[in-house]
Amino acid sequence: MAKIGINISTGSLQQKEMIVGIDLGTTNSLIAIIHPQDRNPVVLKEFSGNALVPSVIHFGNAHQISVGDEAIPFLLTEPQNTIFSVKRLMGKSYRDIQEKASFYTYKIIDDNSDSLVKIQVGEKFYSPIELSSFILKELKQRAEHILKTSVTKAVITVPAYFNDSQRQATRDAGKLAGLDVLRIVNEPTAASLAYGFGLKSDVNKTIAVYDLGGGTFDVSILSISGGIFEVLSTNGDTYLGGDDFDHAIVNYWMQQLNVSADELKNNKSLSQEFRLKAEEAKKYLSTQEVFDGKLKELNISLSKSEFEKLIHPFIEKTIASCKNALLDAGMEKNEMDEIIMVGGSTRIPFVKNQVEKFFGKPIHDNLNPDEVVALGAAIQADILAGNNKDFLLLDITPLSLGIETMGGLMDVLIPRNSKIPTKASRQYTTQKDGQSGIIISVFQGERDLVKDNRKLAEFSLTNIPAMPAGLPKIEILFLINSDGILNVNAKELRSGVEQTIEVKPQYGLTDEAVEKMLKDAIENAKEDIQTRALVEAKTEARQIVDVTVNFISKNNKILSEEEIQVTQQAITELEKLIETGNKDEIHSAIEKLNSISTPFAERVMDEAIGKAMKGKKV
Ligand code: ADP
Ligand code: MG
């Protein structure tokens, strides 16, 4: 049973800190949690009732910031001070977005370099990370206001196609907003988690997630198997969404009313009126047959069938993306068990129909398309909090964890797919006499050489008292807690010298990166085994050379000239093979050196014992 604390001064229940799920969208953002009582995922709403926070930021004259609905009216009255679609700029350089620069009404610095873009508002410059952090701060404050508790930990979703720098940027935005981002989750994976929430953990399904938002479209094919959610492929268009439908309607009415493009361009308030009216009509037509309204005092109308004709080309494009996604996943459309609809624009009946027609089966639209990603993020957050044990993937380490040993080898302490929390330890020792410190490098990955894996951390254990090589007992302990956070502890057992660090194993690793690392490991397994054997042989050879050289220099008085010479020769031979030889050649050279030096060593030993015996009085 969980214990519940009561805060004596306020009388309120002391809640366990909540980890929130955040859908940081191009158009709208929202925040969700697992309800502490009924354990169901819910989005957080103010009393006014709307969970969606438009991803729009307005800067006032004194750079005071407003975010969300308040900022919307400024989109056209103060376009240069009002930032929208910042998500599209995350992790991008000006060169990346050059072609689409006219899309933005605010000033993007075009220094034409590969450095990350900056946005200029008045005399100030902002990075997309800072701008996104303003949205996240607003969401955090909202959540704190609604939950009446501080919110410092979050899971944030990103599109599956986001690369490392975009994910890193999102994570940094969270940090700037005062959030500890426990994990970055792919939007389609989050959507499938929300879908899979009620499912038994032993189901196997292949699903397509069709996400049509305000500015972007993407489709992903995922497999859910034994509680493991895996993205098989993803496809889409980063400039296709509900905004384009609004534009198409505006163009249609411009023709109806004989309004020229120039007139709209020069009259911003008229242009805003057109755009807002178009969006209103579009939404209205999701449930009604005909929209009637007024623009410039004139009657306008739009029927559902006219609207469908306008958006047909866009929907065709999304279907083409679906075909490509299936192709990449190596699957047929009839192999999809479920089609999950995500994003506000999938409310449009025509979109649903076309998607159903393509896949040849009814779509799954029981979930609220605006909320499903945020709800999935909340489920993921709950899993990270250790409250939900149904989904296996999220309770295991996706990649092996280990440390670097001699010759750059990966020594695995916790193999991949280990259930967490877990711990493992192993003992190591020093290579050199009197060595006072060792460097411990922590790696993640499946390859035998650390250079092919990902380095997570490096730290050193120092102040080891002087001891001959091989004598210190250094115990390395890996501990992963249920948040997926790795602690590494190194302790020299004879002296008690100790050092601990915390590492986040999944930091910045995308699902695709994990997948790629696994794939590489399988493809290279054979080569890796050979490399490992060679590295091990070389390491062994070097140690034997060291020991023998040491032995000769210590005992050169006892050994004959000739003995020293043959040993020296065998050493030189072995040294040459360390550089150029293969594993077998090195092994036989080691054996040869051993067979030469062992009798000498035995003789030296006998003499030493003899001397010791002589000195002793019996
Ligand atoms: P994003 O993921 O890009 O942040 P959303 O999923 O919130 O975007 O979708 C926003 C888009 O959905 C907007 O273009 C909006 O006009 C559209 N939309 C919202 N509700 C409806 C509706 N009932 N009918 C048609 N389109 C809608
Ligand atoms: Mg979205």
Give the CATH number for residue 558: 1.20.1270.10
Closest CA to 536 of 569, 584, 580, 575: 584
294 and 245: one domain?
Answer: yes
Ligand 2 centroid, distance to 344 Cα (angstroms): 8
Ligand 1 centroid, distance to 370 Cα (angstroms): 7
**Confidence class of residue 458 from pLDDT cuts 50, 70 and 90?**
confident
308 and 179: one domain?
Answer: no
Ligand 1 centroid, distance to 317 Cα (angstroms): 18
Joined tokens for residue 405? 């040993």
98 and 189: one domain?
Answer: yes
| Ligand with smallest separation from the Cα of 345 | 1
Residue 390 falls within a domain, yes or no? Answer: no
285 in Cβ contact with 302 (< 8 Å): yes
Residue 178 falls within a domain, yes or no? Answer: yes
291: domain CATH number?
Answer: 3.30.420.40
Joined tokens for residue 508? 């910045």
Give the β-pairing of 204-212 and 82-83: unpaired
Contacts of 254 (CB under 8 A, 6+ apart): 260, 261, 264, 274
Ligand 2 centroid, distance to 253 Cα (angstroms): 28
Give the pLDDT mean for 514-534: 72
Quick one: what percent of the chain has pLDDT higher than 70?
A: 88
Ligand 2 centroid, distance to 77 Cα (angstroms): 26
Atom number, ligand 1, closest to the C-alpha of residue 55: 4
In whole angstroms, give the CA distance from residue 286 to residue 406. Answer: 65
In whole angstroms, give the CA distance from residue 167 to residue 162. Answer: 6
Residue 213 CB–ligand 1 contact under 6 Å? yes
Atom number, ligand 1, closest to the C-alpha of residue 25: 4
Closest CA to 501 of 436, 442, 454: 442
Contacts of 580 (CB under 8 A, 6+ apart): none
564 and 534: one domain?
Answer: yes
Residue 371 CB–ligand 1 contact under 6 Å? no
107 in Cβ contact with 121 (< 8 Å): yes
490 and 554: one domain?
Answer: no
Give the β-pairing of 153-158 and 19-24: parallel
| Ligand with smallest separation from the Cα of 343 | 1
Residue 291 falls within a domain, yes or no? Answer: yes
Ligand 2 centroid, distance to 25 Cα (angstroms): 5
Atom number, ligand 1, closest to the C-alpha of residue 243: 14
Q: How far is CA 504 from CA 180, 183, 507, 530, in A?
A: 12, 10, 6, 31
In whole angstroms, give the CA distance from residue 162 to residue 77. Answer: 32
Residue written as token pair 């919307």:
72
500 in Cβ contact with 488 (< 8 Å): yes
| Candidate of 22, 24, 28, 212 to mutate for ligand 1, largest count of ligand atoms within 8 Å of Cβ | 28
485: domain CATH number?
Answer: 2.60.34.10
| Candidate of 283, 311, 314, 372 to mutate for ligand 1, largest count of ligand atoms within 8 Å of Cβ | 283
Closest CA to 192 of 342, 39, 402, 397: 342
What is the dihedral sign for C-alpha 392, 33, 177, 97? positive
Of 29-38, 350-359, 479-488, which one has max mean pLDDT? 350-359
> Ligand 1, atom 19: nearest CA belongs to which residue?
344
Ligand 1 centroid, distance to 94 Cα (angstroms): 27
Residue 615 falls within a domain, yes or no? Answer: no
511 and 536: one domain?
Answer: no
> Ligand 1, atom 6: nearest CA belongs to which residue?
343
Residue written as token pair 């900022």:
71
237 and 346: one domain?
Answer: yes
For 403, left (φ over 0), alpha (ψ -120 to 50), or beta? Answer: beta
Give the pLDDT mean for 94-116: 79
Neighbours of ion ligand 2 (CB under 5 A): 25, 213
What is the dihedral sign for C-alpha 160, 166, 172, 176? negative
Residue 143 belongs to what domain range?
A: 20-195+368-384
Residue 370 CB–ligand 1 contact under 6 Å? yes
Say if residue 14's pLDDT is above 50: no
| Ligand with smallest separation from the Cα of 27 | 1
Give the pLDDT mean for 169-187: 89
212 and 336: one domain?
Answer: yes
Residue 389 falls within a domain, yes or no? Answer: no
Closest CA to 340 of 184, 515, 187: 187
Instruction: Quote the pLDDT of residue 267.
Output: 80
Ligand 2 centroid, distance to 62 Cα (angstroms): 31
Say if residue 4's pLDDT is above 70: no
Residue 137 CB–ligand 1 contact under 6 Å? no
Instruction: Quote the pLDDT of residue 63.
Output: 84
Residue 318 CB–ligand 1 contact under 6 Å? no
Residue 282 CB–ligand 1 contact under 6 Å? yes
Residue 346 CB–ligand 1 contact under 6 Å? no
Say if residue 471's pLDDT is above 70: yes
Residue 91 CB–ligand 1 contact under 6 Å? no
Give the β-pairing of 474-480 and 422-428: antiparallel
| Candidate of 282, 285, 373 to mutate for ligand 1, largest count of ligand atoms within 8 Å of Cβ | 282
548 and 469: one domain?
Answer: no
Of 117-126, 480-489, 606-615, which one has max mean pLDDT? 117-126
What would the pLDDT profile of 293-347 be if each residue is shown by its tens digit?
Answer: 999 889 999 999 999 999 999 999 999 999 999 998 899 999 999 999 999 999 9
Among 201-205, 243-247, 561-565, 594-598, the least confident range: 201-205
Residue 412 falls within a domain, yes or no? Answer: yes
Among 384, 415, 435, give the residue marking a domain's end: 384
> Could you write out the DSSP letters of every residue in 368-429?
-TTTHHHHHHHHHHHHHTT---S-SGGGB-SS-EEEEEGGGEEEEEE-TT-BSSEEEEEEE-
Among 342-351, 420-429, 567-576, the least confident range: 420-429
Closest CA to 539 of 403, 404, 409, 402: 409
Cis previous bond, 421, omega within 30: yes
82 and 157: one domain?
Answer: yes
Instruction: Quote the pLDDT of residue 509.
Output: 54
What would the pLDDT profile of 527-548 be if each residue is shown by its tens digit?
Answer: 777 887 888 888 888 888 888 8
Quick one: what percent of the chain has pLDDT higher than 90?
A: 43
Residue 452 CB–ligand 1 contact under 6 Å? no
Residue 90 falls within a domain, yes or no? Answer: yes
Atom number, ligand 1, closest to the C-alpha of residue 285: 24
Give the pLDDT mean for 350-361: 97
* Residues acting as catalytic residues: 23, 87, 187, 211
Instruction: Quote the pLDDT of residue 505.
Output: 46
310 and 453: one domain?
Answer: no
Backbone angles phi, psi at 152, to 5 degrees: -130, -5
Ligand 2 centroid, distance to 552 Cα (angstroms): 72
| Ligand with smallest separation from the Cα of 374 | 2
Atom number, ligand 1, closest to the C-alpha of residue 344: 12
Residue 192 CB–ligand 1 contact under 6 Å? no
Residue 327 falls within a domain, yes or no? Answer: yes
Among 194-198, 284-288, 388-392, 427-431, the least confident range: 388-392
183 and 37: one domain?
Answer: yes
Residues forming a β-bridge with 66 = 58
302 in Cβ contact with 309 (< 8 Å): no
Count structural domains, the chain.
Answer: 4
Residue 348 CB–ligand 1 contact under 6 Å? yes
